[in-house]
Structure 1
Amino acid sequence: MTDVTVVGSGPNGLVAAVVAARAGLSVRVFEAASTLGGGVRTAELTLPGFRHDVGSAVHPAGLASPVFRRLGLLDRVDWIVPEASYAHPLDGGRAAIAWRDLDPTVEGLGADGPAWRRLIEPLLDRKRGVVAFTGSQLLRVPRDPVAAMRFGLRSLEQGVPLLWDRRFETEGAAALLTGVIAHLAGPMPSLASAGAGLLLAMHAHGAGWGFPRGGSQAIADALLDELRERGAEIVTDAPVERLAEVRDARVVLLDTTPQLLLGEADLPPGYRRALERYRYGSGVAKVDFALDGPVPWTNPLVGEAPTVHLGGTRAEIAAAENAVHRGVQPGVGDGPRHPYVLVTQPSVLDPTRAPAGKHVLWAYTHVPAGSTFDATELITAEVERFAPGFRDLVLASASVSASEMAVRNANHVGGDISAGALTLTQLVKRPVVSPAPWRTPLPGVYLCSSATPPGPAVHGMNGWWAARLALRERFGIR
């Protein structure tokens, strides 16, 4: 009998597997796809020699993750940490840049520089407390109450309509913050998205918005190397559709959405109702581009940032995101003219990603759940808005609609890459309200995916908390 079976080889599943293997337990990992890594895979999606991230590309939460630090991933992975964490171009050649150094960021924001400092610096002063508060579940007593209070008050300010436009006077600063807030698909403003955006903005001036040289696959490979060294069994092309297929293990850790549990006849009625009420968010439509050269941004400073947020002003981005929340696709019909687009251009700092002189560009936009919309032209036009001539550089592209996302990965329900809508309610109830939400009512079965606290991002915390709980309860290992 295997001690621990992990279903899913995303970063949370792999972290959970490593925790179990380090405890001396026998471990088996099942992965439905033919390649390992889940949301941190890298592949040639367009042309030979062009390496694209299949899922996530830049990992602010990874560099700040206490779990990644404890597991040695900050040393075993070759991280590139840019001086410019992210950029936000505006019409007329203007751009706001979030430099890793707070001082040039403040200087570049002009009249709103002091306001940006007052927003971010108090969080940086307590960054470990902020990470601890946001890295578990909101029901716990904060380890650093001052950090929690500072973070909560700023989330409230940027998360309610009456307050969110009061801090900044210029378009640049407001757009710079809105671009990170919009990472969370959903209505704007909202408390949940404001909190996530502030955390990302803090990381931009802290550990930085780093990414692995060669692609995100390096994170999965480092974890997989350790698992193999410790004798773990890794099984690919092995989708698990019913828990009965893996219940021969003493503990089962599910790096999946809660939907897998709904097929279990012995699930208690109350827990079943909670899972049936669990909601998924908007989808994403992603496009990868192979380019003949660097993106010709009107403002050359934008070319120094591997991450770029497109969509224009705060008002334009809010209009686009609120339209998607209502089920309307920006740029189509009567929808808002411009979409919000999240872009990464890793090859500006990582030449291993493309042949000499060539570049890769990764981009997605939010779309209504289950959409079949091909975003290639919409994203191309929005890049052209701030980088005229981009279209002429495209050698090849690969597009994935939200509905195709769901087919390729069962965890992306309707194209939702966050494993569940990120609302304030579902940050507390993820997927149930409990002091130990990773535990299910089924003996020995635990959830360790982004559908549990602390939610999505590549940080491994979900797998860490679930594995520690399982090892303590089922094996008496602390």
Structure 2
Amino acid sequence: MPRDAAPIDAPAARGRGFALPQGAEPGRAVVVGAGPNGLTAAALLAREGWEVDVYERHHAPGGASASSPLLGRGTVVDLGAAGHPFGVVSPVFRELDLTGHGLRWVHPEFPMGHPLPDGPAAVLHGDLDATAEGLGVDGRAWRALHAPLVRDADRLAADVLGPLLRPWPHPVSMARLGLRAPWPAGWVNRAVFRTEQARALYTGAAVHAILPPGRPLTSAFGALFGALGMSSGWPVAAGGSQSIVDALLAVLRVHGGRLHLDHEVTDLRELPAADAVVLDLTPRQVAALAGTDLPPAYARSLRRWRHGSAVSKVDFLLDGPVPWTDVRLAGAGTVHLGGTAAQIQHAEAEAVAGRMPEHPFVMLCQQQAADPSRAVGPSAGRTVVWSYAHVPFGWDGDVRPLIEEQVERFAPGFRDRIVHAVATRPADLEAWNPNLAGGDIAGGSMGGLQLLLRPTASPRPHRAGRPGLYLASAATPPGGGVHGMAGAWAVRTLLRDRARAAF
């Protein structure tokens, strides 16, 4: 059964917020972009006594954390992010007390499921022992790989949700992850696991890096996403991911911040004079802005920014539940559809090489498994299904039949239940939110050095090349996801710079 998450202001979570440096005199700040990172930065600054204005090109705030009745009256569809393993453990969301401003996390029965062509589905439980027990002969290996990370999950979140090139607050916990991180997930699969169930669970978690699991460092994603699922879970936001945005806006407004919609910023000189400007934009967007006065070398580095594979999204409205062959999958908030680990490796390698795979990796989310409010009123009794496939950057084909085929493999009769569907191609995602350039939802490839050096090689990666200008998007640490931490780190850097300038 779905369950509420433990409130993030519970005693166990106290003292684990995001502390800001002291001694900075409040001033005036402008934030460009009302996504989760921009709004987090704005809310923190407003709480610190700054006069804050946020400018957003779209007619509604939220960026990739927005929701709408896309599939008809009574539906709630997450237009971007759906599950939030990092949101529920975000130190800055705790610091801003988003649950005290209306946000409620809810959990499905299982964080993740992975159906297979032969044999039962693999299921990630919200508990390490239950997951290991379900993996049979691989249970001991699964437990040995994940147990230290599950024990340290909360400390690990504080470590990984920030620049990797810094002193970590919990170095022992980070070292345990570091022992597992450098390797390709495919290598770990072959060396550690014997069953396809365990390999599929690990691979499905690893490809949240949107990279082939044969690439170095993908094991870090497999281990970390699995550990979070078996500790704090992969919850959804009750009422839609927009609820996260609404809570951030509530904090901002309580402290006097202002939001300006339908206001696209193309030239910083058009904005009011400010002591600091925070940009929730990708590197190429920053490089294209007028009035930034960026040093030439920094501007060149931004223009060299590499984007990774993309997603192509389809949202479905069904006349009933997904008819999974393995009925346990009805309780999974996230279902990974890609077949075996080898099949996923092939599909991801094709996408990153610019070729559309015949059988792409598909991520399907069933938020309704935890949150019945996703289909009410005239849509009561129906099921909202969120899905995307990994595709080449900027791919413009029709992904709907490919996604339907992948679901149909493991849920025969799925097509017959479709009442309505809306496809959103990479170009559509970018038109809606330019931060999703070419359908890249990670703000830039997480392959190679770009995982560590986002967006440039700098000990203060949130400084945008000159005094008073800061970058706070998924292209900066800690990367993609709805957790607000890029905005939080930008503000920490801003306040430290301002405090030092006062002396």
Shorter chain as denominator, the TM-score bin is over 0.9
Letter paired with 1:456? G
How far residue 348 of structure 1 moved from its aligned partner, in angstroms, is 2.1
**Farther off after superposition, 64-73 or 107-116:** 64-73
Q: Output the amino acid matched with 1:343.
A: L
Distance 2:278 2:398 in 1: 35
- Return the alpha-carbon distance in structure 2 between the equivalents of residues 74 and 174 of structure 1: 36
What letter is aligned with 1:466?
A
Partner of 1:374: 398
Decide which of 179, 186, 200 is 1:175's aligned counterpart: 200
Select which of 38, 42, 45 maps to 2:70. Answer: 45
Q: Distance in 2 between matches of 1:352 and 1:198?
A: 32
- The residue type equivalent to 1:23 in the other structure is E
Provide the C-alpha distance between the structure 1 equivalents of 2:267 and 2:235, rounded to a whole number of angstroms.
Answer: 37
Give the distance between the partners of 2:189 and 2:333, measured in 1 at CA.
27
Moved more, 298-307 or 84-93: 84-93
Task: Indicate the larger mover: 14-23 or 242-251.
Answer: 242-251
Residues 176 and 163 (structure 1), Cα distance of their counterparts in 2 relative to 1, 3 Å cut: closer
Runs of 4+ deviating beyond 6 Å: none
Q: CA RMSD in A?
A: 1.8
Q: 1:83 aligns to what?
A: 109
Given that residues 478 and 486 in structure 2 are in contact (C-alpha distance below 8 angstroms), is that contact kept between their aligned partners in structure 1? yes
Matches within 5 A, 1:316-355: 316-331=343-358, 338-354=359-375, 355=379
| 2:124 counterpart residue number | 98
Alignment-derived partner of residue 72 in structure 1: 97
Q: Deviation of residue 386 (structure 1)?
A: 0.3
Task: Work out whether 1:122 is the aligned partner of 2:148.
Answer: yes
Equivalent residue number for residue 301 of structure 2: 274
Measure how far apart 1:74 and its partner are. 4.0
Listed one character per residue, the Cα deviations across residues 90-123 of structure 1 (whole Å, up to 9, x for unaligned) are 1245101100011111111111111111111011
**SS of alignment partner, residue 63 of structure 1:** coil
**Which SS does the other structure have where 1:285 is aligned?**
strand
For residues 420-458 of structure 1, the C-alpha deviation after alignment (integer angstroms, 9 at most, x for no partner) is 111230122111111111012233110011110111111
| Residue equivalent to 2:325 | 298
Report the CA distance shift for 1:364/1:162 in structure 2 as closer, same or farther (over 3 A): closer
Contact 1:90 1:313 in 2 (8 A): yes
Does residue 132 of structure 1 match 2:158? yes
Paired with 1:350 and 1:477, the residues of 2 have a C-alpha distance of 48
Conserved 8 A contact 2:109-2:369: no
- Give the whole-Å Cα distance in 1 for the aligned partners of 2:256 and 2:116: 52
Counterpart secondary structure, 1:370: coil
* Higher mean C-alpha deviation, range 106-115 or range 145-154: 145-154
CA contact (8 A) 1:83 1:101 kept: no
Deviation larger for 272-281 or 451-460: 272-281
Q: Identity over aligned residues, as a percent?
A: 44
Conserved? CA contact 2:184–2:217, under 8 Å:
no
| Secondary structure class of the residue paired with 2:200 | helix
The answer to whether the 8 Å contact 2:183/2:218 transfers is no
CA change 1:256–1:277 in 2 (3 A) is same
Whichever residue aligns with residue 402 of structure 1, its letter is P
Change (3 A) 1:129 1:190: farther
CA deviation after TM superposition for structure 1 residue 132, in Å = 2.6
Q: Please state whether the residue corresponding to 1:360 is helix, strand or coil.
A: strand
Q: Is the 8 A contact 1:158 1:191 kept in 2?
A: yes
Q: Quote the Cα distance in structure 2 between the aligned partners of 1:214 and 1:266.
A: 42
Q: Contact (CA 8 Å) 2:183, 2:217: kept in 1 or not?
A: no
Match of 2:483 in 1: 459
Q: Distance in 2 between matches of 1:202 and 1:147?
A: 13
1:141 aligns with 2:167: yes
Question: In 2, are the aligned partners of 1:185 and 1:366 still within 8 Å (CA)?
Answer: yes
Q: Can you give the 5+ residue segments of structure 2 that lack an aligned partner in the other structure?
A: 1-25
Residues matched between the structures, number: 471
1:59 & 1:477 partners in 2: Cα distance? Answer: 37
**Partners of 2:272 and 2:52 in 1: CA distance:** 13
**From 296, 307, 324, the counterpart of 2:334:** 307
Counterpart AA for 1:222: A
TM-score, structure 2 length as denominator? 0.90
Query: How many angstroms apart in 1 are the aligned matches of 2:85 and 2:75?
Result: 23
**Equivalent position amino acid for 1:227 in 2:** L
Tell me how far apart the structure 2 counterparts of residues 90 and 194 of structure 1 sit (CA, whole Å). 21
C-alpha deviations, 1:205-250, integer Å up to 9, x for none?
1111111111100000011112122221111111112222236221
- Determine the C-alpha separation between the residues in 2 that align with 1:317 and 1:98: 18
Q: Counterparts of 2:243 and 2:182 in 1: how far apart (Å)?
A: 37
- Contact kept? 2:115, 2:410, Cα under 8 Å: yes
8 Å Cα contact 1:243-1:261 kept in structure 2: no
Which shifted more, 292-301 or 65-74? 65-74
Contact 1:60/1:208, CA 8 A, preserved across alignment: yes
8 Å CA contact 1:348–1:359 kept in 2: the answer is: no
